[in-house]
Each structure stands twice: as C-alpha cells, then as structure tokens.
Structure 1
Amino acid sequence: MTRPTSRDVAGAAGVSQATVSLVLGGKWRGRVSERTAALVRETAETLGYRPNLAARNLRLGSTRTALLVVPALTNEFFARVYTGAARIASDHGFGVVLYPSPDGTGPARDPFPSARAALDGVIASSMAAAALDAIGGNGLPLVMLDSDPTAGQAAAHVNLAMADGMRQAAEHLLGLGHRRILHLAADIDTWTFHVRARTLATVLGPHAELRTARAALTVADALTATEAALTAPGPRPTAIVCDDDILAAGACKAARRLALRVPEDLSVTGVDDLALATAVEPELTTVHLPAERVGEQGMAALLAVLEGTPWTAPDIPVELVVRASTAPPPPPARP
C-alpha cells in the first residue's frame, strides 16, 4: 500500500501543499483559518498521513526534539508532567526525551555528545536544575518549571500557584481549630519549597505556633523526622503540614508508631495528590497539583519560544482536596 503524501492530503482537502505544511507544522495561526486547519488535520487523519520528519528536519535544520529534565522517574508527579509535555509535543511533530537524575536531585551524565546538535530546547524542573550544567547546551532555549520567575537564565517560566495551595492548607487547619502546627519540610534547597515555607509562616504566624522539621523526600526519612518532632519536649503539635504526599505518608506511619490516631489525635496534609493520597488510610487531605497541565504548558511555552513568540501565562491554579486525614484537634487534656 502506497504511503499517502502531503500532495494527497492537499488534493483531498482542496488546499495547497503549502497550506498542508503550515497546518501540520503548527505554523498556521494568522495565515490559515481555523476551519481550513481543522479540515486539513481531519483529512490527514482520514488518509493516515504521517509527515516525513527526517526530511522536514533536514529542511528546517532542527531535530524537533525537546529534552525534559526531571529529578527522577520514580516520582509519579514527574511522570505525569512528561505525559502532558509529550501530548502537546506530538500535536506539533516534536518528540520529548526524558533526562532523569540518578539520585533524584543531582546531575546525571550528559546523554548527548552535543546537546545543541541533538536538541531544539530544554524544559527543566527546578528540582533538577543542577543537571543542566551536565547537558552542555548553553544557548538552547530553556523553559523552567516551578522555579523563580525572576531568574534570568530561562526564556520562559511555567509555575503552579504554590503559595495559594499552602495558604489553602493552612487556612483549612486554622478553620478546624489547630494552633500548634508542624511543617514537615522537604530538605531540598529550591524555590518551590522556599515558597511553601514562607507562605506557611505568613499565614500561620499571627494565629498559631509553627515549628519546622526537615526530611529528605522518602517515607523513611519523613518517619524519622516526624517521630523526633512529635516526641520533643513541649506541647505536641496537633497538625502536620507536609511539603508533599510522600512526606505525609511517613508522618502517618510515625503517628501510628507513637499510638496516635489520624485524624483524631493528629491531622496531616500533603501536596501533590498522588495515587498514594487515596491508597493510605485514612485518605490524605492534600493540595492537588495538575501535573499533566504543567507538562502541557511547559511544552507550549517552548514551542512559543522557538517561534519567537513571547510567552506569558498566569500561574496554574491548584486546589486543596479535603479528605479524612484532617479533623478538629483533640480537646485539651484535663489536669
């Protein structure tokens, strides 16, 4: 069976080959009407047409490949980010290569002899920013995810409304009556975790006693840090705000080891809304982060940069999902 060509698509749709090239190359806006673009895409799909990317790349002088730099593929959040980025990339004839750091936060070896020859641009999580030095792609268009928007190295930024998410969690606990709160903070020096800490201090400071414990992003480290914090001298916290769901799972395990009930004795909140949040018992109150949308916007931002179009977009909204791990604090113990 003969493979359909762009000429076949043009003939069936009643348009020129140039129009087909513009539409399927994602460069039609402002040149082709929405109706014609939809007709071309529908005709191409009906005929089973697939562009010859190798030939087109030779003409364009580009690989139509983006690199997505993440801390680790073992984290469900970043797997979802990839899903979103790959979806938008596919719509524009791009591929996405994943570049995870082997230890979850630091740099890995350069996967390319020359990044500038193999890539058109880079999308990177702030948690994996150290890996950028190993890529050797200075001068490549860079889109940063969940990072300081005032930093000058990136051509565009895609951020979640993280401060608003932490505000929602803090106000939820205050509304339940909690006044002794522990922040179980991720022991990682990145902008997104600094935002979480600053927001909690601002919202809770005038109304509650806020303590902080730090842990690496593992259940085991969270368990150890939480046990130490809950058994320290002084009144025990009645609620724990965790920087992510993995830390929250460790906090819940620590509570059980200390014979504390969640949420009757101790309320726990997380961030991310991973599958883990509904796998634990009780199910976790957590800030839902739309990871796939982060990937979609990251890829859209890179495409805009490559086309020379300024990228501006508001922070992606997040939402607190209230489940069974939070409740009013226990009544004060009788003297």
Structure 2
Amino acid sequence: MTRPTSRDVAHAAGVSQATVSLVLGDKWRGRVSERTAGLVREAAAGLGYRPNLAARSLRLGSTRTALLVVPALTNEYFARVHTGAARVAAEHGFGVVLYLSPDGTGPAKDPFASASAALDGVIASSMAADALEAIGGSELPLVMLDSDPAAGGAAAFVNLDLAGGVREAVAHLRGLGHRRIRHLAADVPSWTFRIRADTLAAELGGPAPDTVRSALNVPAATAAMERALATDLAAPAAGRPTAVLCDDDILAVGACKAARRLGLRVPEDLSVTGFDDVALATAVEPELTTVSLPAERVGEQGMRALLTVLEGGTWRAPDLPVALTVRGSTAPPPTGP
C-alpha cells in the first residue's frame, strides 16, 4: 500500500501543500483559518498520513526530538508526566526520549555522543536536575518542571501551585480540630519539597517542631515514622501530634503502616495526608486524603513550553492548580486518652 503524501492530504482537503505544511507543522495561526486547519487535520487523519520526520529533519536542521529528564518511572507521577508530554509531542510531529535516574534521584550515564546533535530541547524535573550535568547539551533550550523560577537557568518554567496545596491540607486538618501536625518530609534536596516545607512553616508560624525525614520509599517511611510514633506514645497524650502531613503518597502509606504496627488506628488515633494522588492513594485502606496534582498536564505544559521556545516565543502561564481530595485517612483528633 502506497504511503499517503502531503500532496494527497492537500488534494483531499482542497488546499495547497504549503497550507498542509503550515497546519501540520503547527505554524498556521494567523495565516490559516480555524476551519481550514480543521479540514487539513481531518484529511490527514482520514488518510493515515504521517510526516516524514527524517526528511524534515534534514531540511530544517531539526531532529524533532525532545529529552525528558525525570526520576525512574517506577514513580507513577513521572510516568503520567511522560504521558502528557508524549501526547503533545506526537500532535506536533515530535518524539520524546526519556533520560532516567537509576536510583530515582541521581544522574545516569550520558546516552548521547552529542546531545545538541540528537535533540532539539530538554524538559527536566527539579528532582532530576543533577542529571543535567551529565548531558553535554547545555546550549539546548531547557524547560524546568517543579523548579524555582527565581533561580533562572532555563528558557521556561512549568510549576504547580504546591504552596496552595499545602495550605489546603493544613486548613483541612485544622478544620477537623488538629493543632499539632507532624511533617513527614522527603529527604530529597529539591525545590519541589523545599517549597512544601517552607509553606508548612509559614502556616504553622515557624518550622514544624515534629518534622521527620525519610527516603522516598515505603520501608524507609515506615521505619522513620515508627521510631517517631514510639517516642510519641511514651509522652503525655496532650503533647502528641494528632496528624501527619506527608510530602508524598508513598510516605503517607509508610506512616499508615507505622501507625498500625504500634496499635494506632488511622484516622481515629492519627490522621494522615498525602501528596500527588497516585493510584496508591486509593489502593490502601483507609484511602488517603491527599493533594491531587495534575501530572499529565505538567507534561503537556512542559512540551508546549518547549515548542513555544523553539518557535522563538516566550512562555508565560500561571502555576497549574491543585486540589485537596478528602478521603478516609483524616478525621477529628481523638478526645480520650
């Protein structure tokens, strides 16, 4: 079967090949009407047309390839970020190459002999920022995800309203009557976690007095919280934390396991909140109250930001909104001994 060409698409849509090139190259705005662009896309989809990316790369000096730098995809959040980025990339004839950190946070070996020759740009999470040093493509356009815009060093930033999420979680716990809130913090040197700690400190009027740090895995979080809760149980009940705000759903699951090991009930004796709202949040019992993050939209926005930069534009967009999802792991604090 003969592969359809741009000429076939032009004939089916009743337009010129130049118009097809503008629409499928996403350069039509202001030059082609919405109706005509729709006709071209419908014709291309109906014919099963796919652009010849190799020929286009030679012609334009572009690889139509973006690098996504994230921790290991065993973390569902980053798998969803990739899904969003790949979806938008495919709509614009781009491919997305993944660069993963073997241990989830540190750099992997550079997979490119020349990053600038193999890639058009880079999208990177702040949690994998160290990996950028291993990539010999510092001159490439860079879009940072979950990163401090004040630090600079990137052509564009895509962020979530993390501070708003922390404030929602604190307001929810205070509304239930909790006055002493423990912070189970991710022991990862990243802006995305620093902003959560800073916001919690601001909400509490100072650094959380009951902060516990843990690596981002369930066994470590369980062990860290078990030690902390054992100390709590030896203290007078009136001074114990009655709720735990966790930086991540993985940490929240560890907190719940630690509570059960010590005979504490969630949420009757201890309320627990998470962050991310991945599938794990509803796989446990009780299901987690957690801050829901639109991970796929982060990936989509990251790719759109990179495309804007590659077109010579400036990316400006507000932080993506987040929302607290209330489930069964939070309740009013215990009133008895």
For residues 86 and 108 of structure 2, the distance between their equivalents in structure 1, rounded to whole angstroms, comes to: 22
- Secondary structure, in 3 states, of the residue corresponding to 2:123? strand
Q: Which residue of 2 aligns with 1:130?
A: 130
Q: Deviations over 1:121-168 (max 9, x none)?
A: 000000000000001101100000000011221000000000000000
1:179-213 deviation per Cα after TM superposition (whole angstroms, max 9, x unaligned)? 1110000001111111101111111238x974101
For 1:255, the equivalent position in structure 2 comes to: 259
Q: The residue matched to 1:150 in structure 2 has which SS?
A: helix
Please tell me whether the aligned partners of residues 180 and 209 of structure 1 are also in contact (alpha carbons under 8 angstroms).
no
User: Which deviates the most, 278-287 or 229-238?
Assistant: 229-238
Structure 1 residues 204-256: Cα deviation after superposition (integer angstroms, max 9, x where no partner): 238x9741010000111101111121122543211000000000000000000
Higher mean C-alpha displacement, 42-51 vs 157-166: 42-51
Q: Normalized against structure 1, the TM-score is what? A: 0.97
Contact 1:82 1:292 in 2 (8 A): yes
Tell me how far apart the structure 2 counterparts of residues 150 and 32 of structure 1 sit (CA, whole Å). Answer: 38
Q: Is the 8 A contact 2:186 2:214 kept in 1?
A: yes
Report what 2:155 is aligned to: 155
Alignment of 1:178-327 (within 5 A): 178-205=178-205, 210-232=209-231, 234=235, 235-327=239-331
In 2, the alpha carbon distance for the partners of 1:205 and 1:262 equals 26
**Number of positions where the alignment pairs a residue of Structure 1 with one of Structure 2:** 332
Between 279-288 and 221-230, the greater mean CA deviation after superposition: 221-230
**CA deviation map 1:247-286 (0-9, x unaligned):** 0000000000000000000000000001000000000000
Structure 2: which amino acid aligns with 1:153? G
Alpha-carbon distance in 1 for matches of 2:6, 2:164: 48
Structure 1 residues 209 and 98, CA gap change in structure 2 (3 angstroms): closer
- Which residue identity lines up with residue 147 of structure 2 in the other structure? S
In the other structure, the counterpart of 2:101 is: 101
Residues 12-51 of structure 1: pairs in structure 2 closer than 5 A: 12-51=12-51
**8 Å Cα contact 2:84-2:296 kept in structure 1:** yes
Aligned partner letter, 2:329: S
* Cα distance in 1 for residues equivalent to 2:317 and 2:208: 36
State how far apart, in whole Å, the 2-side matches of 1:253 and 1:259 are: 10
Identity %: 77
Question: Amino acid of the residue matched to residue 326 of structure 1?
Answer: T
> Structure 2: where are the runs of 5+ without partners?
none
CA distance in 2, matches of 1:76, 1:272: 9
CA RMSD of superposed structures (Å): 1.2
Displacement of 1:26 after TM fit? 1.1
